[in-house]
Structures are given as C-alpha cells and as structure tokens.
Structure 1
Amino acid sequence: MDFAFTDEQEMIRESAHAFLADVSTSAAVRAAMATERGYDEALWGRICNELCWQAIHIPEAYGGLGLGFVELAILLEQMGQRLLCSPFLSTVGLATNALLLAGSEAQKRHWLGQIAEGRLTATLAWTGAGGGYEAASVAAEARLVGGEYVLSGTLRHVPDGHTADLLIVAARTPGSEGESGISLFAVPADTVGVERCWLPTMDQTRRQAEICLDQVRLECEALLGEAGEAGPALTRTLQLAAVCVAAEQLGGAQAVLDLTVDYTKERVQFGRPVAGFQAIKHRAADMMLQVEASRSAVYYAACVAQEALFGGEAGAELPLAASLAKAWCSDAFFHCASESIQLHGGVGFTWEYDPHLYFKRARSSETFLGASAWHREKIAQAIL
C-alpha cells in the first residue's frame, strides 16, 4: 500500500510534535506521575481549548473537527513518543468511539458535544474482576426493575476511571454470555452507588481504576442503543481502541530508538563512540526495522478503522487489521524498549534516565486490550 500523509496531515504531525516536545518533557511526565490524578489539568485544558485534539474525529454535526482516524493515529503516535500523561486515550480512543457506534442521535449530540467542547472527560468500563479484554469478559449485571436499570458488579483496569466525568459502562443481562445480552450505559461518575478507586500499576504514566457498582439506578435514557444488543458495538469499539494503542506503541518504539541512537553516539569506549561498533549498528538497524514495520501496520489499520467507524467496504477488515497492528506493535515496542535499556548499559534502568519509563509503558500496553499471542490467535482464526 502506497501511503503518504497529505499536507494537512503533515501539518498536524509537525505541530503535535513541536507542542509535545515543549510541554511533555521528561520532567513534566515525572511530575504528572507523582500525582494521584495522573495528569496536569492545566495542560489538558490547553489541549482541549487551544488545539481541540479531543474533537479530532468527532463529526462536525456533534461539534467536532470532523477529521479521520488517520489524523487521530498521528496524534496518538506523537503522544506515545512523548509519554504524554492525559485522559486522551480513555476519552477519545475508548468512550468517544463507543458513543459514535452505540449512541442515539440525541445521546451523541449531548455527550459528544460536551467532549468536543473540552468540558467532559470519559472512559469505557467493561472488564470484570476476572480480567479479559473482549466482550465476553463483561461481568457487571444490568436488571430492569420498575422502569429503571439497576447495575451491579465490579469493573477493573478502567483507564482514568478514577477521574473521568462520564463512564460508558458495559453490563449484561443475568445468565447471558459472550457478546449476547450486553448493554452499554452512559453513567455520570457522580451517580449514587458508583465507587471508584485508583489502582497502582507498573506503568505510572497511565492511571487505571477499579469501579464498584452498588445497585446503581439509571433512567432508561442512559441506555445506549437497544438493551442486550450492544455486544457487536463493544467488540468494534475495542478493535478501534487496539488501533489507538498500537499507534501509541509505534510512537514509543520510535522514541526509544532515537534515545538509544543519541546515547550511543555520546558514550565513548576504547576511544570512540560505541555507535561506531558494528554490533551496535546491527542492533539499532533491527530496532529501526521493527519501527518501520509498525508504522506500516498502524496506518493501514487506521485507514481500515476510518471505514469501519464511518461506513465503507474496507471496514470489514478491521478485526484482522487491528489484531495485526496490536500484535506487531506490542512486540516491536517491547523489543525496542528492552534493547534501549541494554544499549544504555549500566544507566539503562536507573531512575534518572528515561528508558525504564518506556519499558514499563511497553509492558503495560502489551497486555492492555490483549497480548500479542492473543491477537495472533485471532488472526489465525480469521484466516482459516
């Protein structure tokens, strides 16, 4: 596939690169990591009010910029490269797509309009206490009682779940399994019965939370789409999210490659920079190959995701393209992060240097939304 950015897309890439290089420095990332919220509210305000990135692929009819999934992937790549601490992935890569796929026109105008204006952060909560990253892992239950829905259960590994203003919650009809019987609900975080707590994780640059639903009562207007019919929409939302995470992983892999090349040019052994040794060149070349293959996988998947989200024949390829991108980029990012630590020598895993931050993000994002082996199994099943 002969793919090249348009002039507009290249401008988005360059402006994002310059902005994030200025505001998401190593010091800024470490400062955000030290807070329970996990990100700088002032910086998030600038992103929303000055750049409108949160509205990037929200249609103009709902107050967004009306751009595409490729533009979204461009931003996510740059964010991954700088380890930006923000609720962008949870709000845009998860909740927004769920609303676009499952919400009614009235719900889209109400919720997407607030997201586009930067007045609302959101996330998607679907994984039960037993883990798992597909629709079948939904464990929370929803019962219709006296004209209201009553939700109960525990949801874990919810990105930014402790700070999001809106929770898109997946719950199932008691006794159902798989994709059947699943409903999606738009639940304001301050709803009575919703309890949230931050879960400490290895990757301190992205917060996750546990959400407990204790007989949460919701009006029928909170239901997105038809009751018990949201399984396919949830599955497609998670596939789109896998493409988003793959784009971040691509950026992270590029970052550790750049860090490593710069460091090996400065580090001197036996009277010359170690970058001049043939063995080091070979390992850097292998890293670059992983990065460039990741870039091809991500932007092909982004093109397919655009068709899947807004209609088009190529959208049928999304399950395969998303799994391919997530599997490859998970392995590539972890390989590059591991090599970066090795080639940094004794300082590679010290707190003062940044490779360990990327290594932790690589390991965390590798398992989030399914590890590479799980996605390769999906690919094998699809092509048999």
Structure 2
Amino acid sequence: MRFALSDEQGSFREVLEDFFGSRVGADHRRRFVDGDGAYDERLWAELAEGLGLSGLLVQEGAGGSEASLVEQVVLFEQAGRNLLCSPLFATAGLAVPALLEAADGLVRQELLSKIAAGAITATVASGEPGRVRGGDGTVDAACDAAGNWSLSGTCTAVVDAATADLVLVVAATTGGPALFAVSKDAAGFVATPSKAFDPTRPLGILSLDAAPAQLVGAAGDVRSLDRARLVSTVIMTAEQLGGMQACLDMAVAYAGSRVQFGRPIGAFQAIKHRCSDMFVAVESSRSVVYYAAWSLAEATAQDEELLVAMTSSSVSTAFQRTASSLLQVLGGIGYTWEHDAHLFLKRAVSSARLLAVVDDHLDTVAAKLGL
C-alpha cells in the first residue's frame, strides 16, 4: 500500500512549517520554561482564532474545519517538531476527541463551538483509570433530586490543569463511567500545579469537592470513551514523531558543522551509523503514525486498540532512543541547560507515560495476539 498526502494536505503542512518556523523557535521554548508557566496568549490566539487549529476536527456547523485525523496528525507533527508550549495538545488533542467521541446533545455543540472559536481552552481528567486518560485518580458523580450533577474526587497528572478554562472529567456513576464538563470557576474546583519532569508540558492535580458539573455523555458508554482515548493516543504519536524529526535535524546539523581532528565529525563512521539509525527510526515511525491515523479516520482497522497499542509502543520507544542518540552526537554541549536537547529528551520520556506506558501497550498487544 502506498500512502501519500494529498495536494491540500501537503499545502497545509507547508503553511504549518512556515508558521511554526517563524513563530515558534528556541526563544518561545525558553520564555516558557524559564518563566512562570504562563502560555503566550498572543500565540494561542493566532493558533486558535487566526489559523483555526483548535477546531480542526470540529464540524463545520460548530465553526470548525471538519478535517480528518490525518490533517490533525500533520498539525501535531509540526507542533512536536517545534516543541510547542501552548494549550493546543490539551484542547485539540485531548478535549476535542473526547467531546466528538463520547459527548452528545446541545452541550457538546456549545463546547465544541467555543473551542473552535478559541474562546476557551480545555483538558481531560480521568477519574476512571484506563479510559480517557489525562491523569489518574478516582472521581465519583452524584445527582440530586432536581437532576443536578456534582463531582467529588481527585485526579493527578492532568495536562494544563491549572490553566484550562474547562475540564472534561471521566467520573464514576451508578450506570458506569461518564463524561462531565466542569468550569474552572465552579465551586469546589481546585487545580494545583505539579512539578513535572518535562518543563514544556505543565501538569497539575485536580481536586473536586461537590463541584457542579454538566453531564455531556451517556453513562456507561465505555466504547466511546475508549475510542476517544485511542484518537488522542494517535495524536500524541504524531507529536512524538515531530520531536524525533527535530532530534534528527539537530544531530545532522551538528555532525556537519562540528570539526574534530581536522574534519566534520559526521565523516566518522560511528556518527554516520548513529544518524542513519535515527533516520530509519523517524521514517519507520512516520509510516506507522500516518497509517494509524488513516485507519482510524476511515474506520478500516479490524482491531483499533491493537493498532494503536502497536503504534504507540513503537513510536514512544523510538522517540526516547532518538532523543538519547542526539545527546551522543552532541557530546558535552548536549548536556547543558542552554541547549534544547534535554527538553526533547524530557518530552520523549514524559509523553511515553502520559496516556499509557509502553508496557501497558505491549501487554495489550500480547493479549490481542494470544502471546
């Protein structure tokens, strides 16, 4: 099977490359990492309102572009390549798939419209581990006689917990897990930033004490919650792919400019082999990521969970190896705070543990294949 981007998708990629190349560079990352953790609001406005990237998957009727998962992967590959520090992943990579797959009714339409317009940022927190992940914990939902819902419990490792305007919480009900929407301004809502290993992706602890919430999806709709998780995982692998490409680019550039013993270090066999292995890892990952995105978009996979588990375990491992290889090519300069290499390594490690650890994926593969 031959897969290639269409002319429109190729043009979209070029637009993104130009935008990220001019607006998202080392200065952007350094301001975020060395600052107070606040996002660049002007950049977010350009991404969400100017380019409409927050609503790429959202239906046209709700103000979005109604693009496919393949276009979303094109977007997040470029975001990962530039180590974008913004609410884009939490909002468009976690919250939008959760709403599209597991929500229904007027509330769903209203929230998607606000996200597509760039009016709000959002994230996902899970009080039902193993469902739509974006943190682990236990959250229980209660409904009073008037039909009003409230949530109580705690979720950890929630992406952008302290800055998101809206949190979609997967909570336990008597009818099974369900998706709820909670505003950051709700009574009983407390989001506390956590000290994260990866300084480019803020995490936080979400504490809910009888916080008012809106039910946005049917209770017990496990299949839809699981599919939202699969879509978000594929989006994550696209971001990882972009990070791998950046590591390869930095390694090749340094190998061609760093002179030792009278010639560029890229002329030495050990460096050649290291960069060649990185290239193979990047291109292999690109094939599996885009195949997974196309398969989910077209609903062609016989077993989507198996496909995503194989894709994520492969790409997560490859990203960590590629980021480590970059350090080997760079030598001492790669271990300094001033160089971006450590930021990509930290993103590689953190992203491999955010939605599911590699061992979990491998267990899924083994179980599905009867190994």
TM-score normalised by L of structure 2 = 0.95
- Which 10-residue stretch deviates more, 147-156 or 336-345? 147-156
- 2:82 aligns with 82
Amino acid in the other structure paired with 2:218? E
Secondary structure of the residue aligned to 2:142 is strand
Q: What's the offset of the Cα at 1:122?
A: 0.6
Letter in 2 for 1:278: Q
How much has 1:374 moved relative to structure 2?
Answer: 1.6
Question: What one-letter code is carried by the residue in structure 2 that aligns with 1:302?
Answer: A
Flag structure 2 segments of 5+ consecutive residues without an equivalent. none
Partner of 1:60: 60
**Contact 2:105 2:216 (8 Å CA) reproduced:** no
Change over 3 Å in CA distance of 1:20–1:192 after alignment to 2: same
| Distance in 1 (alpha carbons) for counterparts of 2:52 and 2:288 | 27
Which residue of 1 is the match for residue 201 of structure 2? 206
Cα 1:372/1:345, change in 2 over 3 Å? same
Encode CA deviations 1:313-363: one digit per residue, 9 max, x unaligned. Answer: x15532122112211111111001001011101111101211111011011
Report the residue type matching 1:279 in the other structure.
Answer: A
Flag the 1:133–1:345 CA change in 2: closer, same or farther, 3 A.
farther
Match of 2:190 among 190, 195, 198: 195
Shift of residue 170 of structure 1? 0.9
Conserved 8 A contact 1:196-1:211: yes
> d(CA) in 2 for partners of 1:304 and 1:190?
39
Equivalent residue number for residue 280 of structure 1: 271
Q: Which residue of 2 aligns with 1:142?
A: 141
1:239 equivalent among 214, 222, 230: 230
Structure 2 residue 356 is matched with structure 1 residue 370: yes
Contact 2:257 2:264 in 1 (8 A): yes
Please report how far the alpha carbon of residue 238 of structure 1 lies from its aligned counterpart in structure 2 after TM superposition.
1.2
Q: Name the CA distance, whole Å, in 1 between partners of 2:24 and 2:246.
A: 13
Deviation at 1:226, TM superposition (A): 2.1
Q: State the alpha-carbon separation in 1 of the partners of residues 173 and 137 from structure 2.
A: 10
1:343 to 329, 346, 365: 329
Distance in 2 (CA, whole Å) between partners of 1:52 and 1:262 is 33
The AA in structure 2 aligned to 1:207 is: P
Q: 1:305 pairs with 286, 289, 296, which one?
A: 296
* Structure 2 SS opposite 1:294: helix
User: 1:348–1:356: 8 Å Cα contact kept in structure 2?
Assistant: yes
Tell me, in whole angstroms, the C-alpha distance in 2 between the residues paired with 1:321 and 1:138. 27
Report what 1:106 is aligned to: 106
Is the Cα–Cα contact under 8 Å of residues 127 and 133 in structure 1 kept in the other structure? no
Structure 2 residue aligned with 1:248: 239
Please give the per-residue CA displacement for 1:79-104, whole angstroms capped at 9, x wherever unaligned. Answer: 00000011111111111111111222
Kept after mapping to 2: 8 A contact 1:81/1:248: yes
Q: Secondary structure at the match of 1:2?
A: coil
Quick one: which amino acid aligns to residue 55 of structure 1? Answer: G
CA distance in 2, matches of 1:343, 1:105: 53
Q: Distance in 2 between matches of 1:352 and 1:239?
A: 36
Q: Are the aligned partners of 1:151 and 1:215 in contact in 2 as well (CA < 8 Å)?
A: yes
Kept in 2, the 8 Å contact 1:133–1:368? The answer is no
**Does the 8 Å contact 1:134/1:369 carry over to 2?**
no
Give the Cα–Cα distance (whole angstroms) in 2 for the partners of residues 358 and 168 of structure 1: 28
Distance 1:127 1:332, change over 3 A: farther
- The residue aligned with 1:181 is 176
Specify the SS of the correspondent of 1:344.
helix
- Greater Cα offset, 195-204 or 27-36: 27-36
Pair 1:113–1:34, CA change in 2 (3 A)? same
Give the deviation of 1:375 after TM superposition.
0.7
**Number of aligned residue pairs:** 367
State whether structure 2 residue 216 is matched by structure 1 residue 217. Answer: no
Secondary structure of the residue that 2:138 maps to in structure 1? coil
1:285 maps to amino acid = S
1:155 maps to 2:150: no
Distance in 1 (CA, whole Å) between partners of 2:86 and 2:303 is 30
Partner of 2:338, secondary structure, is coil
1:352 to 323, 335, 338: 338
2:218 maps to what in 1?
A: 226
Identity %: 39
Task: Provide the TM-score with structure 1 as the length reference.
Answer: 0.92
Shift of 1:145: 2.4
244, 260, 276: which one aligns with 2:251: 260
Q: Is the 8 A contact 1:138 1:172 kept in 2?
A: no
Q: Measure, in 1, the Cα distance between the counterparts of 2:302 and 2:36.
A: 40
Task: Show the counterpart of 1:8.
Answer: 8
Aligned partner of 2:312: which letter? K
Residue 221 of structure 2 aligns to which amino acid in structure 1? A
Q: Which residue of 2 aligns with 1:177?
A: none
Conservation of the 8 A alpha-carbon contact between 2:102 and 2:228: no
- 1:364 offset after TM fit, Å? 0.5
Aligned CA distance change for structure 1 residues 315 and 62 (closer, same or farther; 3 Å): farther
Per the alignment, residue 167 of structure 2 pairs with: 167
Please say if residues 142 and 151 of structure 1, whose CA atoms lie closer than 8 Å, have aligned partners that are also in contact. Answer: yes
Whole-Å Cα distance in 2 between the matches of residues 54 and 61 of structure 1? Answer: 15
